[in-house]
Structure 1
Amino acid sequence: MRCILISDTHIEKGEIPQYLSAIIEDYDLIVHAGDFSSLAFYKALESTGKLRAVHGNSDEKELRKLLPEELIFEVEGVKIGIVHQGALSIVDTAPIKYKALEMGVNILVFGHLHRPIIEKNDVLLICPGSPTKPRMSDPCAVELVIDNGSVSTKLIEITGQSCSYIDFSRKLGEK
């Protein structure tokens, strides 16, 4: 099964942007780790029939009532968990690792940081970053492929607005 992992989209409109739509149509499952922002955008993703999601801290009140804070599901014998918050920084993933162990999952997808992390220890921890509002990174998502219990990941670069700091630092090298 091919899954696209996203988080922190912060989209107010009730439509999927073309650059994101072109990517997610190629996947069997969309995993969103919260901060859709609007119920309208959540419904647009839900209409694909491929969505598994949790709410984030910036989601509308109705969305926080509709979606759980954490979710566990299984794909081909691999237990996957989703939460929004959990890692306090990109350098200290211990709290999110313990959350994954507490949930009893093989993979934990989380958001909130707006930049990607893929870390394998006792469990596979994945923060897909943000395809629309990145921080200290380019817009991105993560591809997760599960084939007969074997798991592989790949960072997917997405065309869109980069973090302003990244844009600034690239200009420093220009003459």
Structure 2
Amino acid sequence: MKHPDIGAILDVHRLAFGEAEGAEIAQLAKGLLNHPDTISVSAERDGKIAGNVLFTPFTFKDHPATKCHLLAPCGVLPEYQGRGVGKEIMETSIAQLKSTGTDAVFVLGVPTFYPRYGFAPTDKQTPYPDLLTVAEAWMALELTPGSVENLNGQTIAIPQFMHPHWWDTSGHG
């Protein structure tokens, strides 16, 4: 990835998540972009990156052969929100993940946004299942039919996501 693109992607996440969370999410995105297995999908408008979504490996300890990804973060510059950028990055990234053999994608996110793209609440564990207080926020998208049904047990995200605060939904409604 070109160095100028990284700065633009970090700006997208910093501005999309606002003053309260933007700096922390941009710092997370920076760490994720340094991980060799991160998949980054962006959309451009007016010659600049207007939206970005990142995907990182997500493993079920007892099912290592099932190829899963964790979606986070997903952001759109405020001036482009509501203008199809989020839809474009979601549809493009889902097609890309399908083409590379990903079996399933998981997200801890806004329960009113992700179902538009086929995500549905799941009973599969997060790395910190006791911190999941908003169950409908934990969702899965099955890309290979039948791949999610038999998944169970402990899950492992990349190191940047193995901090409990990323999985605590008690402060969100």
TM-score relative to the length of structure 2: 0.31
Whose strand proportion is higher, 1 or 2?
1
Greater helix percent: which structure? 2
